[in-house]
Structures are given as C-alpha cells and as structure tokens.
Amino acid sequence: MYTMMQVCKETNMTYQALKYYCNEGLVPNVKRDKNNRRIFDERDLKWIKDLVRLKKCNMSIQEMKDYLELCLKGQSTIPQRKEMLAKKRESLLASIKELEECVDYIDWKHGFYDDVLSGKRPYISNLIPQEQ
C-alpha cells in the first residue's frame, strides 16, 4: 500500500493535485487507513500514472472523468475509448504541427538577424518607418 506522499513521489504529482483528483472522483475506490488517510494499492498507482499521462496529453478533467466512466463500464466501451483517444491524438498532432511552424519561424528570424549582423542584408523593420 502507498500513502499520498509515496504516490506523489512515484508519479511526480503534487500533493494538492493528487488530492484534487481524488476529490473529483478520478481515483475510484479510494481506500482509507485506520486514521482515515487515503491509501493506494498497485492498481491505484497504475491508474494514477495513466491520469498523469492523460493530463500530459491535454485531457481536461471532464474528459478524464468521461474516460474513467467508460473504463468502469468494462470491455464493451473500448470502441468509445479508442474514439476518444483517436480524437485527442489528432489534436496533439495538430499542436505538434503548429509548434513546428513556430520553431521554423524562430529559426528564420535567427537567420535574418545573423544576416543583418554580418552585413549580408540590410535591416528592415515593419515597425520603424523607413527614412526617405
């Protein structure tokens, strides 16, 4: 069995985040010790690690709740879960493309500045009017 702090260490979550997830019902069947403190078993720990991954995939709390609800219904909901994950994957791929475009812009801008500093091209600003 794991304490809250042990789970936090294993998952790299803050105590507050884990408590929030528990309070929001994202960790079903939470057990309590004799002092009424939350304790977790291996299955709980694996699920919490899944929640951390889903959060990194940009899933909202509501999306995680919806996913959990489907998981709790068993194998019959696998098609719906696959669909949810496929949509999230599409969204992540779009974000990756957008980030790659941002990196390309910054690389271009660096090249432009390098060329200006080396005298290969004149400095032209879209913000400063050109003197005639």
Residues whose CB falls within 8 Å of the CB of residue 7, separated by 6 or more in sequence, listed in order: 13, 18, 40, 44, 45, 48
pLDDT at 129: 84
Report whether 84 contacts 66 (CB < 8 A). yes
Q: What is the pTM of this model?
A: 0.80
Q: Where are the domains of the chain?
A: 2-118
pLDDT of 132: 58
CATH number corresponding to 2-118: 1.10.1660.10
What's the pLDDT at 126? Answer: 86
Sign of CA dihedral 29, 33, 36, 40: negative
Q: How many residues does the chain have?
A: 132
pLDDT along the chain (132 residues), means of 10: 95 96 94 94 96 96 97 97 97 97 98 96 87 66
The pLDDT assigned to 125 comes to: 87
43 class by beta-carbon count within 10 Å (0-12 exposed, 13-18 middle, 19+ buried): exposed
